[in-house]
Amino acid sequence: MAAEIIAITQQKGGVGKSTIAMHLGAAFHEKGKRVLVVDADGQNTLVHWASAASDEASGIPFPIVNLSEAGAQIHREIRKFVSDYDVIVVDCPPSITEKVSGVVLLAASVAIVPTSSSPADYWSSVGLVKLIQQAQVMNEDLRAVFLLNKTEEKRMLTRELKRALEELGFPLLKTQIPTRECYKQAMALGQTVLQMTDRGSRLAATEIRACADEVLAMLP
Ligand SMILES: Nc1ncnc2c1ncn2[C@@H]1O[C@H](COP(=O)(O)OP(=O)(O)OP(=O)(O)O)[C@@H](O)[C@H]1O
Ligand SMILES: [Mg+2]
């Protein structure tokens, strides 16, 4: 069985693409999937993150591969790994002017678009939505969803926001990822919240697992 490819993509910077990519990878790994996470962004956030661990035993327990130099050939590089993994999660760069996101979307079965609840964030998704819809013409299997990240706890998502996102063309995952300090700590420690034991991390881990279950249910 060839690996399913999950693209984490959004043209806006800082919305949590790398955080979501690493944590979904961790949740799939915990469920026994053979996981590869691809760093497709020249900032190399995931490569740096994985190398921040103090030792191998406490670090990221699945491989991260740096394909940020592959450019528009990245799909060929990813293809080399598909027979060895069940799931390949790709952390895409924030720009859609480079070819990387478009090419990854042609090979992916799921695209996850992290966004905050700020209108500026989701308005900036319009170009990306078009890119995904273009990819869907050639790649009929591609399904796309928004994922609300950095939400404020206890504040309900307004019906208006949900409708505004869905009007852009894709559904919203039921699970939202609240703002939690532990995500920054995890990055600094070279870990994910699934390996951390403080209360915030345990809550975060539950949310990440729920999100991963929703994404797995979308796979063919
Ligand atoms: N749910 C969250 N709660 C708290 N902090 C978060 C959360 N998600 C992301 N962050 C923090 O926000 C910052 C940006 O996140 P991240 O690097 O994942 O975004 P990105 O979309 O990959 O950015 P870029 O576009 O630069 O690649 C990081 O410091 C990260 O730790
Ligand atoms: Mg990033």
164 Cβ contact partners less than 8 Å away, ≥ 6 residues apart = 119, 122
Instruction: Say what the pLDDT of residue 156 is.
Output: 60
Closest to 107 (Cα-Cα) out of 125, 89, 119: 89
- Mutation choice for ligand 1 from 15, 17, 19, CB with most ligand atoms inside 8 A: 19
Superfamily (CATH H level) for 4-218:
P-loop containing nucleotide triphosphate hydrolases (3.40.50.300)
Closest to 100 (Cα-Cα) out of 215, 18, 7: 7
pLDDT digits (tens, 9 = 90+) for 18-72: 999 999 999 999 999 999 999 999 999 999 999 999 998 899 999 999 999 999 9
The ranges of the chain with pLDDT < 70 are: 153-158
Q: What's the distance, Cα to Cα, between the start and end of the chain in Å?
A: 12
- 41, 158 Cβ separation under 8 angstroms: no
Instruction: Say what the pLDDT of residue 105 is.
Output: 97
Q: Which ligand is nearest to the CA of 24?
A: 1
Instruction: Say what the pLDDT of residue 95 is.
Output: 84
Give residue 28's region: left, alpha or beta (phi > 0; psi -120 to 50). Answer: alpha
How many angstroms does the Cα of residue 186 sit away from the middle of ligand 2? 15
Pocket of ligand 1 (CB under 6 A): 13-19, 41, 43, 45, 94, 149-150, 177, 179-180, 183-184, 187
